[in-house]
Amino acid sequence: MADLVGYRNWAVTSNGTIVPSAAVEVRIKSTAALAVLHEDAGAVTPLVNPFTAEADGSFEFFTVPDLYDLIVGTGLSQETVPLNLMPENSDLSFTPTLADAASGGNEATAGTASGRYAQNGRLILMKLRFVNIDTTGLTGGNDIFLTGLPFISATSNPRTFGSVKTDNVALAGTLISEIQSEDSFIKIWDNQNAAAGAYLTVAALTSGIADIDLSIVYEVDA
């Protein structure tokens, strides 16, 4: 078993109110499966998942490094918080999605859809690659949203930009990647000469042969 990492916190609501004896559930972000938890770093004593926080709302567990969703509460009062237990300077892969909405939209298929990121403290360096994008079923006039990111940008994250390279994509100017504060997606901005810029839309992609490569650096909450 890999070395375990510990996590200790208090069960709180979104407005910061501590919840005594709250139900706590930990799920692996990539699969939504329940994480294997222990009460100690040596993995001697298993911890049932879900579990109940202490009377003062505090809880602690040990598990393998990964990205998790921490779910606190039950029923309508349940709240989900992303939890990053990866070591700093980690270099990991994920599978991004190209869609015509930030969530709940239509998703494109691609011959290749890959992403990699490295983390250093609160900074995320991310690279995405889409090859032979098929936009069948997407709404042509909608903006392009690159979703499936492993991290939501920080509340204090400024409007951050990165580089973009494309093939078989209709351009009016120069493209840049963009992520704003508290976003779980990246968009692509088309800088236009002597005219107002605009976000790249689905219609700009030649379906079946369009490629997009991009990189961006942004902040996440601690």
Residue 75 is predicted with a pLDDT of 67
What mean pLDDT comes out for the span 31-60? 94
87 pLDDT band, cuts 50/70/90, is confident
Read off the pLDDT band of 151 (50, 70, 90). Answer: confident
> Reduced to 3 states, what is the DSSP secondary structure of residue 166?
strand
In degrees and rounded to multiples of 5, residue 202 shows phi and psi of -60, -35
Q: What percent of the chain clears pLDDT 70, i.e. is strictly above it? A: 95
Burial 11-42 (b: 16+ CB within 10 A, else e): bbeeeeeebeebbbbbbbbeeeeebbbbbeee
Q: Are the C-beta atoms of 131 and 206 separated by less than 8 Å?
A: no
More confident residue, 73 or 102: 102
Question: Domain spans of the chain?
Answer: 5-84, 91-219
Asked if pLDDT for residue 13 goes beyond 90, the answer is: no
Partner residues linked to 51 by β-bridges: 24
Residue 36's nearest CA partner among 71, 58, 62 is 62
What one-character DSSP code corresponds to residue 43? S
CATH topology of domain 5-84: Immunoglobulin-like (2.60.40)
Q: For position 91, what pLDDT does the model report? A: 61
Calculate the CA dihedral of residues 187, 105, 115, 122 and round it to 10 degrees.
60
Model-level pTM? 0.66
**Overall average pLDDT of the 72-97 stretch:** 78
Mean pLDDT on 24-41: 92
Taking the C-alpha atoms of residue 85 and residue 74, their distance in angstroms, rounded to an integer, is 23
Chain mean pLDDT for the chain: 90
User: Given this model, what pLDDT does residue 194 score?
Assistant: 85
DSSP annotation of 103 reads S
186 neighbors 179 (Cβ within 8 angstroms) = yes
